Amino acid sequence: MRLTDNEIEAIAQKIVAKTPSSGRRPIVVGNWKMHKTPSEGEALVRELAALVETADCEIGVAPAYPCLGQVGRALGGSKISLCAQNAYWEKAGAFTGEVAIGMLTELGVSQVIIGHSERRQFFGETDETVNLRAKAVLEAGLVPILCVGESLQERDSGLTHAVVDRQVRGGLADLSGSQVAGMVLAYEPVWAIGTGKVATVEEAQEVHSVIRQLLAELHDAPTAGAVRIQYGGSVKPDNAAQLLAQPDIDGALVGGAALKATDFAAICMAAKAE
């Protein structure tokens, strides 16, 4: 069922924006991609932990699989949580090269990035497989961070909303409102990832608001008001505060700037719970 513009507007007005009572604690996650060896990762989080002690937000780092054990141990006692960059939906079996969620929980992982554009672009990830991963991550009691976002070509063709709509519907298919409410979504325009091009705060806020309206349509206003939606795409210390101040931007998914402790810490310090 598709809603009319008036119905969507009515829902939007009921949605809780990021007000002092929204309860949406900002979440900043560093996606290290295929960077940092285990010992380099350990050094990075040791430096980071000291820098973000007073940060007023939730913070996570997502190292590559082989680094999770060593980085996780180094994080012990800090406020930084351990995230994985992906996970497979089967519990065990003949799936060479894949990693089961049970293996991640044993290492202390609490969040899992799913549907990152690089997985979609280079590894054949589809909305269906992203949905299977989301279900499995939730079933294991972990938090999925579901990434969505349009390519440059799609943006130039005016398809941003349609692409994000399809990816959110597909990724969240068959999930209940309470499951969705506990998830994190990340809007990452593909053209802004690793390019130094960042969406304007107005562009980013608009898409975040469209995503929240869609969540209200798929579930209800309280669910939409509970979901944290991160922005990702060339977030740096000098643009983070403005982006994070937008009413529907509840944190950041950070790539390049997460590889330097001082830069990532500066982004974390820019995110403030209201």
Nearer to ligand PEP, 134 or 145 (CB): 145
Q: Considering the complex, state which of residue 188 and residue 217 has its C-beta at the smaller distance from ligand PEP.
A: 188
Compare residues 144 and 255 and give the one whose CB is closer to ligand PEP: 255
Sign for the CA dihedral angle at 126, 132, 138, 140 comes to negative
CB 151 → ligand PEP: shortest distance, Å?
14
d(CA 38, CA 34): 11
Q: Least distance in Å: CB of 264 to ligand PEP?
A: 10
Residue nearest to ligand PEP according to CB distances in the complex: 255
Gap between the Cα atoms of 133 and 116, Å rounded? 12
Contact of 114 with 137, CB cutoff 8 Å: yes
116 part of the active site = yes
* Spatial distance between the Cα atoms of 21 and 37, rounded to a whole number of angstroms: 41
CB closer to ligand PEP, 251 vs 255: 255
| Active-site entry in 118, 125, 150, 188 | 188
Residue pair 243/27 in contact by the 8 Å Cβ criterion: no
Q: Clarify whether 98 is annotated catalytic.
A: no
Which residue in the list 116, 118, 150, 219 is annotated as catalytic? 116
CA 192 – CA 256 distance, rounded (Å): 12
Applying CB under 6 A, the residues found at the interface with ligand PEP are 31, 188, 193-194, 232-235, 253-257
Question: Cβ of residue 130: shortest distance to ligand PEP, in angstroms?
Answer: 15
Q: Residue 58 — φ and ψ, nearest 5°?
A: -85, 140
Q: For the CB of residue 194, give the shortest distance to ligand PEP in the complex, in Å.
A: 4
Catalytic residue numbers, as ranges: 116, 188
